[in-house]
Amino acid sequence: MPKGESLGEFEHLVLLAVLRLGVDAYGMRVRREIAERTGRDVTIGAVYATLERLEAKGLVKSQIGDSTAERGGRAKRSFHLTGAGVEAVNRAQESLLSMLEGIAFPVPGGGQ
Amino acid sequence: MPKGESLGEFEHLVLLAVLRLGVDAYGMRVRREIAERTGRDVTIGAVYATLERLEAKGLVKSQIGDSTAERGGRAKRSFHLTGAGVEAVNRAQESLLSMLEGIAFPVPGGGQ
DNA sequence: ACCTGTTCTCTACTATGTAGAAATCATGCC
DNA sequence: GGCATGATTTCTACATAGTAGAGAACAGGT
């Protein structure tokens, strides 16, 4: 697997968030999801930059939703994985699993 | 978890490789391990660059081994995780797990 | 001596990740 | 109808991580 076939870490997280959020996968929501699940307080700019790069690579697609806003609000731009995106997630998962094989978590010695 | 507390993807892989290789964790061996397990054909430069950055961050330490070479060979520089390195691996693992929660792999739709 | 195999170091470049401010838009209120 | 407000997206600039390959160091065999 040569060139640009592998995901960065944050790309990975974002892709997973989009996957699990389904129809609700728009920028702000993705940000919240990652923050809640990983405790990582990312800025919205980081999310959009990543989302756009993923779109440029063909791993996600976006479409502007109806201006459905409850209270105030610009139309949401919602994202979903493409076939290539699904493949990328699956591949990343496999790589990680085989590196993880045989390691028991949590690894002792970190002194928490 | 604000600033530079999170691992890049490749850093993560390298750290896991060092962890599992134990005493055998030197540059070339790490490279081979990653190549074999993930199918990712990384260059040796990438491995050392990453290893050095991890050392700069205090997640691994290195020491030059005895010039023990079987057949030809420069002395190996072998790496091991520090306490902070172990923590980092554990933290990365947790983040990933909570993002993975509820997603069944392989995700269908990738058309392999 | 020199060739060969193994490992490590160096330099330069590209891609990813981070940060925050600013623009856009619909709504509700006055 | 104009203005403050809340929710979202877009823009610009920068810092960090990942990639690539050539070349230096070193030990042994021939």
In a domain, A4, yes or no: no
CA angle (A106 as vertex; A100, A112 as ends), nearest 5: 145
Determine the pLDDT at residue B46: 93
A93:B106 CB<8 A: yes
In a domain, A28, yes or no: yes
Looking up residue A54, the CATH number of its domain turns out to be 1.10.10.10
User: Going by C-beta distance under 8 Å and a sequence separation of 6 or more, which residues neighbour residue A17?
Assistant: A25, A30, A33, A34, B99
Dihedral of alpha carbons A75, A19, A47, A6, sign? negative
Determine the pLDDT at residue A20: 93
In a domain, A16, yes or no: yes
User: Going by C-beta distance under 8 Å and a sequence separation of 6 or more, which residues neighbour residue A36?
Assistant: none
Q: What are phi and psi of B20, to 5 degrees?
A: -75, -25
In a domain, A112, yes or no: no
Tell if the pTM clears 0.85, that is, is over it: yes
In a domain, B103, yes or no: no
In a domain, A22, yes or no: yes
Interchain contact B110–A (C-beta under 8 A)? yes
Would you say residue A69 has pLDDT above 60?
no
Query: Could you tell me the distance in Å between the CA of residue A72 and the C1' of nucleotide C14?
Result: 40
**Number of structural domains found in chain B:** 1
Could you list the beta-strand ranges (E) of A6-109.
Answer: 60-64, 77-81
Determine the pLDDT at residue A40: 87
Determine the pLDDT at residue B3: 40
In a domain, B108, yes or no: no
Determine the pLDDT at residue B112: 58
Choice between A60 and B8, residue whose per-residue pLDDT is larger: A60
Q: Give the range of the structural domain holding residue B54, as residue numbers without chain letter.
A: 9-66+75-93
* Tens of pLDDT, residues A11-35: 999 999 999 999 889 999 999 999 9
From the CA of B14, how many Å to the nearest CA of chain A? 9
Per-residue pLDDT of chain B in tens (112 residues, 90 and over written 9): 334 467 888 999 999 999 999 988 999 999 999 999 998 889 999 999 999 999 999 999 999 876 655 656 688 899 999 999 999 999 999 989 999 998 999 999 887 5
In a domain, B25, yes or no: yes
Which residue does chain A place closest to B40, by CA atoms? A1
Q: Nearest nt (C1') to A71 (CA)?
A: C27
Q: Using alpha carbons, select from B32, B34, B33, B23 the residue that is nearest to residue B78.
A: B23
